[in-house]
Amino acid sequence: MTGSDADADQLHRPGMLQSLLGLRRPVVMGILNVTPDSFSDGGRFFDAAVAIDHAGDLVAQGADILDIGAESTRPYGGAVPVPVEEEIRRLERVLPPAVRLGVPVSVDTMKAAVAEWALARGAAMINDVWGLQRDPELARVIAQAGVPVVIMHNREQPDPSLDIMAELSAFFERSLEIAATHGIPRHHIVLDPGIGFGKTPEQSLTAIARLRELQAFGVPLLVGGSRKRFIAKVSPAEPHQRVGGSIAAHLIAVANGAAIVRVHDVFETVQALRVAEAIRDAG
């Protein structure tokens, strides 16, 4: 087995997710978008060398997981659909070097073919923004690989009239049924309320405020509020100016039961979480 194969095997080991969740602190997932059109940093890391350098920076700053996305799924419209071949082409430049950095790598994709390709090359987790409800083959691929999956809630359009917590519960029930049918074990599942996706800003705020209700599903919860539009609804700012709001959202999310936070600003988030923990311990 080569060194890179050994690394990939290590990151595929049974219990990877449980090991991370056993750290007795929130797990920090660092975002790496290798796309030209993501809402927050579109184009900044499209160059492979720049992306690989940034991945190393995120790990050095304290990221426990890297989440690499090669197709923008920005929730406010305008994202350009990417064919399977192009998504793989973008990933193949950065995934192998990212795997060698020594932390688990999640791939943010809704396509079974992309997931299968990535898992064969060392990805340790799949993050599906459509919660296994878009590509009918994705659950099968994940089950066969034996890796964890993030099941995120999504809708095509926001509906202000919805009881968002009831909507989240109904969506997750469907996704969990799909996962069970294909043999994905419950302990490999993380639920993500999909802050900003198919929701009004008010519904995103509610989802974070009432996050603890989702603990009834008995699986870890992930919150990705980083630089999202709901922050600007409270305090107007451009995406790169929403670091403070992102940290506030993630601290509240952790207090309300989030086990994982997905962030652009790893150093600042890790610092905030450590200080919050130190204050609690001092009490």
Residues with catalytic function? 228, 262
Measured distance CA(239)–CA(231) in Å, rounded: 9
Residue reference for tokens 């929130």 = 26
13-30 burial, b if ≥16 CB within 10 A, otherwise e?
eeebbeebbeeeebbbbb
Q: Where are any strands of DSSP class E within 59-144?
A: 65-69, 105-108, 125-128
126-164 CB burial, b ≥16 within 10 A, e <16: bbbbbbbbebeebbbbbbebebbbbbbbbbeebeeeeeb
Residue of 37, 147, 38, 55 whose CA lies nearest to 94: 55
Task: Specify the DSSP class assigned to residue 146.
Answer: T
Q: Terminal CA-to-CA distance of the chain, rounded, Å?
A: 49
d(CA 88, CA 114): 6
Residue with tokens 């304290």: 62
SS3 46: coil
Residue at token pair 């790496």: 32
